[in-house]
Structure 1
Amino acid sequence: MLRRFPDLWLFLLVAFGLSWLFALPIWLTDASSSTPVFLAMGVAIMFTPTLGVLAVRLRGRRLGDVATGREWAVRTGLSAGGSRGRTLALVALAWFGIPVLVVVATALSAALGLLSVDLREFSLFRESLAAAAGGPPPVEAGVLMAVQVASMVLIAPVINSVAAFGEEWGWRGWLLPRLMPLGTWRALLVSGVIWGLWHFPLTLRGYNYPELGAWAAPMFIVFCVTFGALLGWLRLYSGSVWPAVVGHGSLNASAGLMLLVGDAADPPVFAVAGITGLVGSALLAVVSALLFKYRPVERSIPAAVA
């Protein structure tokens, strides 16, 4: 399929090529995921899919594409979609529903014996605060916990959605509709695998699953496929990329819940427990399947081509 559509090659070349280019400082300095250079480059990498979309748009204009900016915006999901009310409702659902799934995945992990929680002392959170402050925190861990949770739900999703847009306009805004001729589930699978492969500059360094080292890279593909399916439903059902943007931002804001409720004596294994572990991927797969079954999407969503 790629051979017949050079715009796909261009998009992937820009998105993947720039992600590896931006990751060079991480590899050259052997930076860990907690260092400022890793965090800064991680945010920069998130905008490479958007640069891929812009490259396709530029190529199309040079080849005589007469689509107006408004038409291009509609094709790539920047508009409110077919129904502004539906899109706004899905934005709210993504904003507050994703943290609920994070809580459910965390609770399931604990119920299955895959996660030890400490809801009395918040020992893992207290330990991380002490390490950051170089001593006991000046404020009670419980108070800081409440502030952190409130921020996760109310403030951080907005902040995280800025960088999430850099990814979502590429993956769900442009790429997913471009792949829909394959069929809905094939398009979701292929786009999810591509999304996971694109993370390799970071996940090969053990990002998200430090206990796995380089094996974090293939592990994260599983999560990208399942979470990508949920984001894909938000995009396709609304006709807009904004619910997926907010859902992605909300996930990035709340995924660290295990670090707040975990037990320092038995730290969580991220590859298994929580929303980004196997438990979370299974939960996301079930939720996505139910959404596509009971709220089916249109396969004829227009795609932006060069």
Structure 2
Amino acid sequence: MSSESTESVRPPAPSIPYRPAGRLEPWAPRFLTVFALVLMAITVALCAPVWMGAMSSDVLNAVTPLVMWLPTLVVVAVHLGFRRPVPVMRWAALGIRPAGRTFAVIGLLLAVMVLVPALTIAAAVSLGLVDFAPSEGAATTALMVVPMIVVMMVTTLGEEAAWRGYLQSTLAPLGFWRSTLAIAAYWSLWHLPVAAAYWTDGQMDGREVLVTSVNLLLSAVVLSAVRYLSGSVWPAVAGHAMLNTVLVFAYSNLITSTADLPDGAYWGYALVTWAVWGLAILVLARAVARRAG
């Protein structure tokens, strides 16, 4: 077969326009519905024993790396079941070309993930909501953050290849904001059964469940923005790993525990956090719009 004929039947690379660009592919609504229902059903089945008191939430902690691969496993299973005429690897944006842009966006995201907790802590401390109180081993722990980002990417790839990869490509005709918010909303919703399990087991209280859900919604917009900026899912993979390492390190080792705050200070701290995330979203969304021209 000639190179011309091979190229003519090869599915095009996914395009993710900033502005709405028409309707979804004919297969997309049914695909998305089946994906959403199957993923949520499996997640609820995993969490139900904890809700009923038949299993400790410690078991969920142990299987978290496997749970994080559920979205991509379900995407691949549904893709194969539907026999979709798009290549999984390209549709999930697993390439890194142009490599320079991909790594530049990862660097930009690292700066954002450092500035978000830095600005949040600075504002919260200045408002008297929390105290700046570095833990005894904070300096040593900080040295482990970058290696932990790399290790964590093995598990965050399992989520991001689906969320900011395959699903972002599938919803791309809706434009940046509609596709991003749809993914962010379901991503946050998908975490609720797990959060409810920790709440049932006494590991989280109701206010933590609510704040975590909003934080997920806001951080999801940032992760989608870097997919748009780079054209690759890898910055989102790295960014998700940074959420689980850089932010966890900062909030666990540099300030007093927010879980022990009275309601007034707790919600004040939450509002500061959301305001800083909002600022990050504005900056990155503006960069996405500028790149789109």
Class of the TM-score when normalised by the shorter of the 2 chains: 0.7 to 0.9
Does structure 2 retain, via aligned residues, the 8 Å contact 1:179–1:187? yes
Counterpart code for 1:59: G
* Consecutive unaligned residues in structure 1, runs of 5 or more: 123-140, 300-306
**Residues 44-123 of structure 1 mapped to structure 2, 5 A cutoff:** 44-61=66-83, 65-67=84-86, 71-81=87-97, 83-119=98-134, 122=135
For residues 90-120 of structure 1, give each alpha carbon's deviation from its aligned partner in whole angstroms, at most 9, with x where no partner exists: 123334541332222222221222212224x
The correspondence for 2:60, drawn from 12, 17, 38, is: 38
Does structure 2 retain, via aligned residues, the 8 Å contact 1:203–1:214? no
Please provide the CA RMSD for this pair: 3.0
Counterpart code for 1:200: L
**Residues 224-235 of structure 1 mapped to structure 2, 5 A cutoff:** 224-235=216-227
**Residues 182-201 of structure 1 mapped to structure 2, 5 A cutoff:** 182-201=174-193
User: Structure 1's 265 and 295: CA in aligned 2 closer, same or farther, altered over 3 A?
Assistant: closer
- Partners of 2:79 and 2:220 lie apart in 1 by 24
Does structure 1 retain, via aligned residues, the 8 Å contact 2:39–2:70? yes
| Counterpart for residue 173 of structure 2 | 181
* Consecutive unaligned residues in structure 2, runs of 5 or more: 1-23
Q: Greater relative contact order (Cα 8 A, min sep 6): structure 1 or 2? A: 2
- Partners of 1:223 and 1:156 lie apart in 2 by 21
Counterpart code for 1:116: D
Cα deviation, residue 216, structure 1: 4.0
- Partners of 2:175 and 2:258 lie apart in 1 by 47
- Partners of 1:219 and 1:225 lie apart in 2 by 10
For residues 95-146 of structure 1, give each alpha carbon's deviation from its aligned partner in whole angstroms, at most 9, with x where no partner exists: 4541332222222221222212224xx3xxxxxxxxxxxxxxxxxx2xx221
User: Structure 1's 296 and 146: CA in aligned 2 closer, same or farther, altered over 3 A?
Assistant: same
For residues 198-229 of structure 1, give each alpha carbon's deviation from its aligned partner in whole angstroms, at most 9, with x where no partner exists: 0011212456xx79624544433321221111
Does structure 2 retain, via aligned residues, the 8 Å contact 1:94–1:243? yes
Structure 1 runs of 4+ off > 6 angstroms?
1-4
Cα deviation, residue 72, structure 1: 2.8
TM-score normalized by the length of structure 1 = 0.74
SS at match of 1:204: helix
Does structure 2 retain, via aligned residues, the 8 Å contact 1:49–1:171? yes
Does structure 2 retain, via aligned residues, the 8 Å contact 1:10–1:55? no
SS at match of 1:296: helix
- Partners of 1:89 and 1:104 lie apart in 2 by 22
TM-score normalized by the length of structure 2 = 0.77
**Residues 148-297 of structure 1 mapped to structure 2, 5 A cutoff:** 148-152=141-145, 154-206=146-198, 213-256=205-248, 257-263=250-256, 267=260, 272=267, 277-296=270-289
- Partners of 1:227 and 1:89 lie apart in 2 by 19
**Residues 131-146 of structure 1 mapped to structure 2, 5 A cutoff:** 141=136, 144-146=137-139
User: Structure 1's 264 and 298: CA in aligned 2 closer, same or farther, altered over 3 A?
Assistant: closer
SS at match of 1:117: coil
User: Structure 1's 283 and 22: CA in aligned 2 closer, same or farther, altered over 3 A?
Assistant: same
SS at match of 2:239: helix
- Partners of 2:186 and 2:161 lie apart in 1 by 15
Q: How many residues align?
A: 262
